[in-house]
């Protein structure tokens, strides 16, 4: 049983479980949390899951857990684990079902006061142009051959179709396309689910949110990103839809046999994995990259449609209604990267599940415009609460594999939220707070109620206090399209 007494306090924002805590642990577990957030984390199985993750073959450094942690499938959401490449393992559960669920932020020079009279029309137009809901289909219909091509090209596919700019691609993680995608390793069922879902928001915690830059903490970084106090921005939170979910389901099932074939002992069958250099590991890596590229493309198409909505509503009414891409980041992904571990440069597969890449200043992997300040880290709130823009730091490169938190993190299950919150009541509360709202369903709205999540400000205070991200700007929601 895990209690507060087993943790070694590293700082006010860091706690550690040594590998001697349990037989089979290969590395320590480092939790980024205040004491209050740590106490809350002990109410579910997230830290127990992190200890289980610490038994995986090939791990290097530490298993890390971010302050927005909560229980997930096998791995905690908010978890980061790096395995040596190529002989370490890769685990579908360590990346998650919504492969490359992520966030895109677009900025503008539109003052809130100028657009306030049109917000209700704007949110209706966003809802019209960006279909939402469970199983929703979009306007794009692809053959299998076209879908394979889209999965190889990612956001570059949208560029060819006139739905992206070179600047959009430059300001997207991996330029919107991870090399090595293998759509031939994707099942027919996954392709069937994904063929008609590009350009759709889906449901769950996915949303489009119009926000106002409420407070700026780092003027240099905010200026580099085109964030101006009092002006609008747009956040898009979405992933790889049924396509990525099916790929994860397929490989979780496939890897049940792989762990037996490779003699891997696991404390939890949800941790199924395979060596990265095995045929099974390589197949999943290729399929996962196909889903990641699908997600980059999906958010690009949603951004294109959102721009159409802004033009339709605001052209001729406000000056310079254009949206500029700030950045697009992945939350659930496995990336081959090189990091310093025990003084040596080591090539690893970093599993980030509900965690954001947060590379520090000077990294060649981020756009030249951001190298003086560090990579943007986008932390969405929960409809009625703030969102944050941070940047990665030199410390994140040293102690967290260049990673930070990804959101507020749930404290209540979706079923519990539906028991405690009435969707209609919540809708009225949000509207009374001046938030214009469109929601696919009232029960879906209740699932994602702000009270079902942690205090995002406390989460951001923790990663800032630990030094693995730096505050740039706080955003306040004024219009939400909820999937």
Mean pLDDT value across residues 116-128:
96
Q: Which helix (H) or strand (E) holds 376?
A: strand 376-379
| Burial class of residue 61, CB neighbours in 10 A (0-12, 13-18, 19+) | buried
Please say whether the beta carbons of 195 and 150 come within 8 A: no
Please say whether the beta carbons of 238 and 232 come within 8 A: no
Q: Which two tokens stand for residue 446?
A: 């209740």
Question: With the C-alpha atoms ordered 369, 373, 379, 383, is the resulting torsion angle positive or negative?
Answer: negative
Annotated active-site residue 305? The verdict is: no
483 is in an annotated binding site: no
237 is in an annotated binding site: yes
Return d(Cα 434, Cα 254) in angstroms, integer. Answer: 48
Please say whether the beta carbons of 56 and 262 come within 8 A: no
304 is in an annotated binding site: no
* Beta-sheet strands, E only, within 184-297: 207-216, 231-238, 274-275
The DSSP call for residue 35 is: H
Ranking 9-23, 341-355, 423-437 by mean pLDDT, the lowest is 423-437
Question: Whose CA is closest to 168, among 374, 160, 311?
Answer: 160
Cα end-to-end distance, the chain, whole Å:
38
98 is in an annotated binding site: yes
Domain 4-411+453-482 is found in CATH 3.90.1860.10: yes
pLDDT in tens, 204-216: 889 999 999 999 9
Return d(Cα 194, Cα 171) in angstroms, integer. Answer: 25
Tell me which of 70, 245, 406, 436 is the catalytic residue.
406
Q: Which two tokens stand for residue 257?
A: 């046999």
Q: Which two tokens stand for residue 149?
A: 């091509």
pLDDT in tens, 224-275: 999 999 999 999 999 999 999 999 999 999 999 999 999 999 999 999 999 9
175 is in an annotated binding site: no
380 is in an annotated binding site: yes
394 is in an annotated binding site: no
220 is in an annotated binding site: no
245 is in an annotated binding site: no
Return d(Cα 129, Cα 47) in angstroms, integer. Answer: 41
What is the reported pLDDT for 449?
Answer: 85
Q: Mean pLDDT over all residues of the chain?
A: 95
Return d(Cα 212, Cα 215) in angstroms, integer. Answer: 9
Q: Given a cut of 80, is residue 173 above it in pLDDT? A: yes
Question: Whose CA is closest to 19, among 69, 43, 53?
Answer: 53
In this structure, the number of other CB atoms found within 10 A of the CB of residue 39 comes to: 11
* Cα R_g (the chain), whole angstroms: 21
- SS3 category, 319: coil
Q: Given a cut of 80, is residue 143 above it in pLDDT? A: yes
Please say whether the beta carbons of 239 and 293 come within 8 A: no
């Amino acid at each position: 049983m895990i209690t507060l007494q087993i943790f070694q306090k590293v700082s006010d924002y860091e706690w550690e479980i040594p590998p001697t805590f349990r037989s089979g642990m290969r590395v320590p577990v480092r939790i980024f949390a205040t004491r209050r957030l740590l106490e809350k984390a002990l109410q579910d199985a997230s830290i127990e899951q992190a200890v289980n993750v610490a038994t995986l073959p090939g791990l290097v450094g530490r298993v890390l857990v971010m302050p927005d942690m909560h229980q997930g499938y096998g791995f905690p959401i908010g978890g980061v684990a790096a395995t040596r490449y190529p002989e370490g393992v890769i685990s579908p559960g360590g990346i998650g079902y919504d492969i490359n669920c992520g966030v895109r932020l677009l900025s503008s020079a539109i003052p809130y006061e100028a657009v306030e009279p049109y917000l209700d029309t704007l949110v209706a137009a966003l809802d019209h142009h960006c279909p939402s809901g469970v199983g929703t289909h979009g306007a794009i219909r692809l053959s299998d051959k076209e879908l394979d091509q889209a999965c190889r090209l990612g956001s570059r596919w949208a560029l060819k179709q006139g739905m992206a700019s070179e600047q959009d691609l430059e300001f997207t993680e991996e330029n919107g396309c991870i090399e090595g995608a293998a759509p031939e390793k994707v099942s027919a069922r996954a392709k069937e689910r994904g063929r008609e879902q590009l350009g759709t928001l889906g449901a769950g915690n996915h949303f489009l949110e119009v926000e106002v830059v409420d407070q700026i903490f780092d003027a240099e970084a905010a200026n580099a990103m085109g964030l101006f106090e009092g002006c609008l921005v747009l956040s898009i939170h979405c992933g790889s839809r049924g396509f990525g979910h099916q790929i994860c389901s397929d490989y979780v099932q496939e890897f049940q046999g792989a762990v037996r074939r490779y003699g891997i002992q696991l404390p939890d069958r949800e941790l199924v994995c395979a060596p990265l250099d095995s045929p099974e590991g390589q197949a999943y890596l290729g399929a996962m990259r196909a889903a990641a590229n699908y997600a980059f493309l999906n958010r690009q198409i949603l951004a294109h449609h959102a721009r159409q909505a802004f033009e339709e509503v605001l052209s001729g009414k406000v000056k310079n209604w254009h949206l500029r891409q700030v950045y697009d980041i992945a939350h659930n992904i496995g990336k081959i990267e090189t990091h310093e571990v025990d003084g040596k440069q080591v090539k690893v597969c970093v599993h980030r599940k509900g965690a954001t890449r947060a590379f520090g200043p000077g990294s060649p992997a981020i756009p030249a415009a951001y190298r003086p300040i560090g990579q943007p880290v986008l932390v969405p709130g929960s409809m009625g609460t703030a969102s944050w823009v941070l940047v990665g730091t030199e410390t994140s490169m040293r102690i967290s594999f260049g990673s930070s938190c990804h959101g507020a993190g749930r404290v209540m299950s979706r079923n519990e939220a539906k028991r405690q919150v009435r969707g209609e009541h919540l809708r009225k509360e949000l509207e009374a707070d001046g938030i214009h709202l469109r929601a696919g369903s009232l029960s879906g709205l209740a699932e994602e109620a702000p009270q079902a999540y942690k205090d995002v400000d406390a989460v951001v205070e923790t990663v800032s206090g630990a030094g693995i991200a730096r505050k740039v700007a706080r955003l306040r929601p004024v219009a939400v399209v909820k999937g």
